[in-house]
Structure 1
Amino acid sequence: MSRIHLKRVYDPAAHDDGLRVLVDRLWPRGVSKERAAVDHWAKDLAPSSELRRWFHRNPEAWDAFFAAYRAELSGRDDDLRALQRRADQRPITLLYAARDRERNHARILSDLLEGLD
């Protein structure tokens, strides 16, 4: 059973975060590498720059973003399974910079990882 948690990268690191994985394509503004305490940066699992910019301009289009991001991830099976295996070994925390804690790509990614066989 995987143990995947979500946290904004701006929130303080905690001992029980386990492996801290940044899942944004860009390094978050105003956060030093020391403060972020990132163990692994999974840029390739983040939404494309085009999709990220589009969703930023159209936050009401959650369903369309969800579908487009899932489609982007469909070609990343090896990366997804590698991250899921890490979650099977110890807790991981997916770190993201988005302000919305409910509607963000890390939540979609977490749900997808939890659903892998």
Structure 2
Amino acid sequence: MAVKTKSIYKPAERGNGIRALVTRYYPRGVKSSHFDIWISALSPSGPLLNKYKDGKIQWAEFEIAPLSEFRENLDSIESIYILHDLSRKRNVTLLCYEKEDQPCHRHGVKELVDSPEVLFLPNR
């Protein structure tokens, strides 16, 4: 089984498995039937999102910043391990707002779900 990523605005496909929305805020115009579970604990915090959207930090910094937030949040850690265990039995697709060709934190979340031990490695 596998962990995949996709934009929430793309239609569900056979093989998506469990569709997990990993956004801080609910996406406009999206019905709850487009995903199976919403895990806001696996999204960057509001202040971090605002810094990035306002151009106060660049993608390179934003890409790794949620890792520190996740390490300090028991809900985030638990969610990563639950998705990791689920992905061993069936596919899991992580969903966010960004289009497929745009940078998005969901790719970093995928790395964590694939290898949760990364959470506890120094220098990350």
TM-score (norm 1): 0.86
Q: How does 1:1-117 map to 2 (within 5 A)?
A: 3-34=2-33, 36=34, 38-58=35-55, 61-75=58-72, 76-99=76-99, 101-116=101-116
* 1:110 partner amino acid: K
Task: Report deviation, 1:116.
Answer: 2.4
Supply the RMSD in Å over aligned alpha carbons. 1.9
SS in 1 for 2:65: helix
Task: Report deviation, 1:30.
Answer: 1.3
Which blocks of at least 5 consecutive residues in structure 2 are unaligned?
118-124
Identity score, percent? 26
SS in 1 for 2:23: coil
SS in 2 for 1:103: coil
Q: Give the number of aligned pairs.
A: 114
Report the Cα distance in structure 1 between the residues aligned to 2:56 and 2:4, rounded to whole angstroms: 23
Task: Report deviation, 1:99.
Answer: 3.6
Which blocks of at least 5 consecutive residues in structure 1 are unaligned?
none
TM-score (norm 2): 0.82
Deviation above 3 Å: which 4+ runs of structure 1?
A: 99-102
Distance 1:78 1:12, change over 3 A: same
